[in-house]
Amino acid sequence: MSGKKRVAVLPGSYDPVTYGHLDIIERGAALYDELVVAVSENPAKEPLLPLEERLALIRELTRSYGNIRAEMFTGMTVEFAKRIGAEVILRGIRTFADFEYEFQLALANKRIGQVETVFIMSSAERSFIRSSLIKEATALGGDVSPYVPHLVFEALKRRLAELGMMHSRSRVGLDGDETPDIGRDGPGLRGEAIE
């Protein structure tokens, strides 16, 4: 067995970081000598929380771990992985639908960058947590404290209030016909469909 340090990268937008993310981070850190939580800056997406705040939250929430660090990256994950010397890309999977997408991505990353992908299944009690639903529920005044750390909950409330999206009757109809524009892909908590 070689003495080379085993490094894994766990990419994501973490907008916001949830207990589901933290579960995967903690379990990934137990498998590798170093886990780099790579916070992506995707120009195609408009995150609710600024990149610097997402990084700061992850750093604060993982500071008790000696082998976890958080970094920002842009561009292709495989290029970032090579730059930091990661041998694998670590990905969490919640559902079968996640697996289909992640499987295709893993094949592409292997072909393009010769970097392996390792999957960690979400814990059953965390498998339904989606950042988009957390943002929506917070904007609608829901209590998401069971799903995100207090620091994150406060950051979300503060940011939504800054944007005028917290409990805003002009943006959130009492009949549920309107939902805050917080970067969701589906109708979410209004119940017309599953995201």
- Active centre residues (catalytic): 21, 45, 94, 131
Residue keyed to tokens 């990905």: 91
In the structure encoding, which two tokens stand for residue 184, read together?
A: 């969701």
In the chain, beta strands by DSSP E: 7-12, 34-40, 68-73, 88-93, 116-121
Rounded CA Rg of the chain: 17
β-bridge partners, 89: 9, 117
Length of the chain in terms of residues written: 195
Distance CA 195, CA 187 (A): 7
Residue 73, CA distances (Å) to 33, 85, 157, 181 in order: 21, 14, 26, 26
